[in-house]
Structure 1
Amino acid sequence: MAAVSSLAFPPPVGRPARLVVLVSGSGTNLQALIDAVADPAYGAEIVAVGADRDGVAGLDRAERAGLPTFVHRIKDFPGRADWDAALTASVRAYQPDLVVTAGFMKILGSGFLGAYGGRIVNTHPALLPSFPGAHGVTDALAYGVKVTGCTVHLVDSGVDTGPIIAQGVVEVTDADHADGGEALHERIKIVERTLLVEVVGRLAREGHRIEDRKVWIPA
């Protein structure tokens, strides 16, 4: 029998969990987390927001909330490894317990994964492992599925291949095929925001462990 690999990530004791959130766009998931952490009972605080591009609405949301921000654009670095090292250093400066990639559209490198593997939370607008990648909504629609949804998972070195934490289901209607999935994507986003807030709060308050791709959060 193969040995069971196990990693444990207990919650912080006597303080809220520290979150660094990474964004690339409008930051609606970030806003949901900003709203959630306003309640002390949530058990977490956002200590910084990072982005891979300038001028995105997610940074505006962070600044309105009084949160520190940083930006690392890939084009400003000699290579992808240099960008990853800079991103890792900036995140490390805030000593996070969890990193949340909330609409962050870049693949994290080995250095970042080495520093925060098992503690990076991502969302995807499909029911993984089906329809990974940047076109999860339209790929699911084109395949003809009757239900789709969203997945909150931990990030690993693949594209949307990390251990699944939770999933939410959204029904596909005939009307969704008429607009190319725009309305469907909006319905998925509503479920996604709620699920992300719930999962991050539970990880912050209760911790988690990973056993052979299964994520367990204490009841």
Structure 2
Amino acid sequence: MAGLPFLPGNTFRDITKQNFHRKQTLKYANGYMFPQRPEIEIGGDLNIEDIVIAPAEPVMPVDHKVYLPASQCSKVLRFFCYFKETIHESPQEFYRVRSCQIFYYLEDDSIAVTEPKVENSGIPQGVFLRRHQIPKNERGDKWHWTDLNNGVNVTFYGRTFHICDCDAFTKDFLQSEGIELAPPCIIPPDPYTNLRQKSLKH
């Protein structure tokens, strides 16, 4: 069959091949999708471009998988913060204090910001910023955990958050890395929330 010209009627199908599935070309690692070249083509044949002649001397296989330190794998830092939102439409209030939580994932230096839901608040709450690497400046730098500390202002996409405190694990981690934590501060009360609580008491 190899000597026949490639013309209609001169092509034959190998009856020994029964599996014509296409192999998966994507793999997942740490929740991210990566492309991979299939080693077996359609029909079960080996990919000719991936066949390498074995060397004369045995070579130890090299593992290219990247391993994170045990102190950073699946570890998350949590900071408590707030930001002030200016109110222009209401004569009873001028600003609102909205408390949030910053989650920093050590495995890929990504950040997520959430706002705890308050019952009958009248504003959308929950996930404020989805988990991703947040740019720090126009040069392309990303926010790092060394930039986060008590009493520090961080700006994410034009919104400035004031960090007040962090949880116990975050304190132990930062102190173990040689970072001196500033004293924690208290999130100021929200005037609108206090006004609503007074009306509920009546």
TM range (shorter): under 0.3
Bigger Rg over Cα: 2
| TM-score, length-scaled by structure 2 | 0.22
Higher relative contact order (CA 8 A, sep 6+): 1
| TM-score, length-scaled by structure 1 | 0.21
Kindly indicate which of the two structures has a greater share of residues assigned to helix.
1
